[in-house]
Amino acid sequence: MRDLSLKILDKYIIREFCKLFIIISVSFILLYLIGDFFEKIRMFLSNKASITQVFSYFFYSIPMIISLTLPSSVLLATLMTYGSFSKYNEITAMKANGISIYRISLPALSFAVVIAVFLFFFSELITPASAQKAEHILKSEVQKRHSLGFFKQSEIWYRSEKAIYNIKLFDVNNDTLHGVTINYLNFDDFTLTTRIDARSATWENGQWIFHDLLVTRFDENNYPLLERFKEKIIYLPEKPNDFKTIQKEAEKIGFFELRKYIKKIQADGYNITRYKTDFHGKVAFPFVTIILVFIGVFFSIRSERTGGVMQSLGMGIFIGFSYWIVHAFCMSLGKSGMLPPFIGAWAANFLFTSASFYLFYKVRT
């Protein structure tokens, strides 16, 4: 009989939780879309974008919004669901019937686990492709700016006016290109005129300095003439910022493609600290939904004694935003090498998990 009652209770909690979760998630999406629309409306009008283009851009932007806001939606849904239970003494009634706080929080925690798994695969399979599509619509179709560079098959490719670049790695912090191959072409007949292979190229004093390079020039008979240099200044019309945009695309790739990229550049002897931190971060981020549920339940049931659902709501939101700040800070430390990549990605999770367990331990069950 007790098991049946608990099943009914679980269904009731999940139903109330899901209603609020859906409302909050949709509200986040709408607020983001409205804000983004008013931010870009002048750009759409000046470029005479069609309704189809505008609609398509915002449609393909939705998966990225979902990936970013799901943890916050779970937190607010937890706070409001259990806060409502506390306000109307439902938590007290459950405890009076011998149901512990741990058992009361189980439905929300189970839901959070499902959301965490969903968020990982959604961010891996849906978000990257939709974000690239939205970017393509905005830049290529609306602004008529055709991208010269792209990230493909674990390498950076860039088309200049007279050449095609292949770069294995761009060190954003030091403005250094690693594993550089530049093919100068005659675009009239697509014949190769010159090829440059260099270990690295560094941006110094407004110019590119190539290191350990081989320059291959092809004569009229297509015969190669080779020259080797330890160091040589070579003019490129591109500046570091031109490559940074493409590098950001590399950082947005999915978990499995990023793992493949890391293995490739590590085998070539390049520094993988930044990417290793991003790699661990892609696993650590979905788990925040579970942590925020712990925090949300505690601050909601706390209103039983301190009386103030709004106070608990405000405190829970504050804790949630505190998590984002700590997580971003630790990730930056991991990327800079001040913390090991794994610690940098998981530090905020470990810290807030410990805090949430302590709060649950102290709460009266």
State whether 107 and 171 are in the same domain.
Answer: no
State whether 15 and 115 are in the same domain.
Answer: yes
Give per-residue pLDDT as tens, 49-93. Answer: 889 989 999 999 999 999 988 988 898 888 888 888 877 788 878
Q: Please, which pLDDT band fits residue 363 given cuts at 50, 70 and 90?
A: low
State whether 313 and 212 are in the same domain.
Answer: no
State whether 173 and 131 are in the same domain.
Answer: no
Instruction: Determine the average pLDDT of the residues in 130-144.
Output: 81
Give 340's DSSP letter: -
How many CB atoms neighbour CB 215 within 10 A?
18
Give per-residue pLDDT as tens, 173-187. Answer: 788 888 899 998 886
> Is 242 a domain residue?
no
Range of the domain at 70: 2-139+276-362
Q: Please, which pLDDT band fits residue 339 given cuts at 50, 70 and 90?
A: very high
Give per-residue pLDDT as tens, 1-45. Answer: 556 667 888 898 999 999 999 999 999 999 999 999 999 889 888
Give per-residue pLDDT as tens, 88-117. Answer: 788 878 888 888 888 888 899 999 999 999
Give the number of domains in the chain: 2
Of 257 and 211, the one with more pLDDT: 211
Give the C-alpha distances (Å, rounded to integers) separating 79 from 211, 255, 302, 314: 57, 31, 11, 9
Q: Please, which pLDDT band fits residue 153 given cuts at 50, 70 and 90?
A: very low
- Predicted pLDDT at 312: 58
- Predicted pLDDT at 271: 75
Q: Please, which pLDDT band fits residue 307 given cuts at 50, 70 and 90?
A: low
Residues 274/332, Cβ–Cβ less than 8 Å = no
- The residue among 156, 153, 232, 245 whose CA lies nearest residue 196 is 232
> Is 113 a domain residue?
yes
State whether 173 and 122 are in the same domain.
Answer: no
Of 183 and 145, the one with more pLDDT: 183
**Tokens linked to 328:** 């971003």
| HSE toward the beta carbon, residue 340, CA cutoff 13 A | 3
- Give dist(CA 254, CA 260) in Å, integer: 10
Residues 169/270, Cβ–Cβ less than 8 Å = yes
State whether 119 and 47 are in the same domain.
Answer: yes
- pLDDT higher than 60, residue 154: no
State whether 214 and 93 are in the same domain.
Answer: no
* Share above pLDDT 70 across residues of the chain, in percent, rounded to a whole number: 87
- The residue among 201, 336, 219 whose CA lies nearest residue 276 is 336
Across 62-99, b (16+ Cβ under 10 Å) vs e yields: bbbbbbebbbbbbbbbbbbbbbbbbbeebbeebbeeeb
> Is 81 a domain residue?
yes
State whether 202 and 303 are in the same domain.
Answer: no
- pLDDT higher than 60, residue 152: no
> Is 218 a domain residue?
yes
Q: What share of the chain is helix, strand, coil (3-state, %, to 5)?
A: 65, 20, 15
Tokens 């629309």 correspond to what residue? Answer: 37
> Is 216 a domain residue?
yes
> Is 189 a domain residue?
yes
Using left for φ > 0, alpha for ψ between -120 and 50, and beta otherwise, residue 89 falls in left
Question: Over the chain, what is the mean pLDDT?
Answer: 83
Give the C-alpha distances (Å, rounded to integers) separating 199 from 169, 210, 213, 243, 348: 11, 8, 6, 17, 37
How many CB atoms neighbour CB 164 within 10 A?
16
> Is 147 a domain residue?
no
